[in-house]
A and B are shown apart, each in its own frame.
Chain A
Amino acid sequence: MKDITIIGAGPAGLTAAIYALRSGKSVLLLEAKTYGGQIVNTPEIDNYPAMPHVSGFEFAQKLYEQAASFGAEIFYEAASSIEDRGGIKVVKTTKNNSYESKAVIIATGAKNRPMGIDREEELIGHGVSYCATCDGMFFRRKDVAVFGGGNTAVEDALFLSQYCNKVYVIHRRDQFRADAADVEKLKARENVEFVLDSIVTKLLGDEKLGAVEVTNKKDGSKREINVAGLFVAIGQMPDNGAFANAVELDEKGYVSAGENCRTKTDGIYVAGDCRTKEVRQLTTAAADGAVAALAACANI
């Protein structure tokens, strides 16, 4: 039996592993996909202290190697439940394994929020994308749309406007949450058209995307826009449903805990983007990892 099971090997989980291992505790790391989490999608990180211009991939790689140097080992399995047996916690996985430990740190992060409309899943890779920097080049000189109004959406639109013939920015409001400087930059681009107070309601095309139907939220009017690509950037959502019996989730599905990363259940902690918090950044994920791990270590 290990001392601590950490669910998720993104920045929060890997940082937690580093702190726990350096405190002399044994650690089991569970990861559903690959280590690194969402940050691997970021081409360049410019807001992590003392590491300017590092790519998300490089950051993830270095963090993993650092954790591995202290003995961290990742089991590639998705956690499907946590059972609280007092001093012992049992984490079950989708591979039908059960792992016992004295403490658990939930660090599952967040994933891209889907639009939740028909054919979204089937058109991923055929015109629907959640990563403009990964897929933008395939739409060179074509017409595309970005759906969303936050930083990611505006950054995506700026990026795409350099390569694409035309970029439609579809946003449910008429004001942007994104940084004002970037919005101003985007407004100055000649090949960008704003479609405001509107949401994407249909994906059209046979085997690949050919157009989107957008509906104006104010007057209900509908409009079809011919695009080869739709980049969805309507935020993130957590993925903690499997743990609802062991910890408290807020109405959006984040694990309820304060800055001390303690959940309502003794011995179960939460770190990173999957926790209820105001600021979801790389720095705060790493900070949570340290806080949760040291709290767990002190309690074992």
Chain B
Amino acid sequence: MAAIVLTADNFEKEVLKSDVPVLVDFWAEWCGPCKMLSPVVDRVGENADGFKVGKVNVDDEYDLAERYGISSIPCLIVFKDGKEAKRSVGVIPQDAVEALVKDA
């Protein structure tokens, strides 16, 4: 499934009230490492089984980034039952992204 574009408006419904875990990628257009990680997250999303994938553009959604204390990107957070369960900062390979969701 393609990654959901997350905004302040849909974050509660899509992430916090989701009945499956959600892998959220905080990224920005000007961040090179984010753009390297982005297709990796997309691939994980395409094969997603039992979880969802979403992306937060921190420029457009500064309040969301601030709410979750993002100070380094790319930053991946796995939300489970409305709470942060796992967090990873920086570029990681696909299997590490998959493990992050699995271990959440």
B32 CB, nearest partner CB in chain A, Å = 4
Known: A33-B93, A34-B91. A229 touches B71 (CB 8 A): yes
Contact B35 A57 (CB under 8 A): yes
Question: Which one of A37-45, A268-276, A287-295 is at the interface?
Answer: A37-45
Contact A134 B95 (CB under 8 A): no
A-B contact pairs, 19 of them (CB 8 A): A32-B93, A34-B37, A40-B32, A42-B32, A55-B32, A57-B32, A76-B95, A124-B90, A125-B90, A126-B69, A129-B71, A131-B33, A131-B72, A134-B72, A134-B73, A135-B72, A138-B70, A138-B71, A229-B71
Q: Per-residue CB proximity of B16-31 to A under 8 Å, as 1/0?
A: 0000000000001011
Contact B36 A60 (CB under 8 A): yes
A111 CB, nearest partner CB in chain B, Å = 11
* Contact residues in B for A95 (Cβ distance below 8 Å): 95
Contact B36 A34 (CB under 8 A): yes
Contact B92 A33 (CB under 8 A): yes
| Number of chain B residues whose Cβ lies closer than 8 Å to a Cβ of chain A | 26
Q: Which of B28, B30, B31 has the most CB of A within 10 A?
A: B31
| Number of chain A residues whose Cβ lies closer than 8 Å to a Cβ of chain B | 30
A238 interface contact, C-beta 8 A? no
* Contact residues in B for A55 (Cβ distance below 8 Å): 32
Contact B31 A134 (CB under 8 A): yes
User: For residue A34, which residue of chain B has the nearest CB?
Assistant: B36
Q: Per-residue CB proximity of A134-146 to B under 8 Å, as 1/0?
A: 1101110000000
Contact B36 A125 (CB under 8 A): no
Contact B71 A139 (CB under 8 A): yes
Alpha-carbon distance between A275 and B75 when the two chains are bound, in angstroms: 31
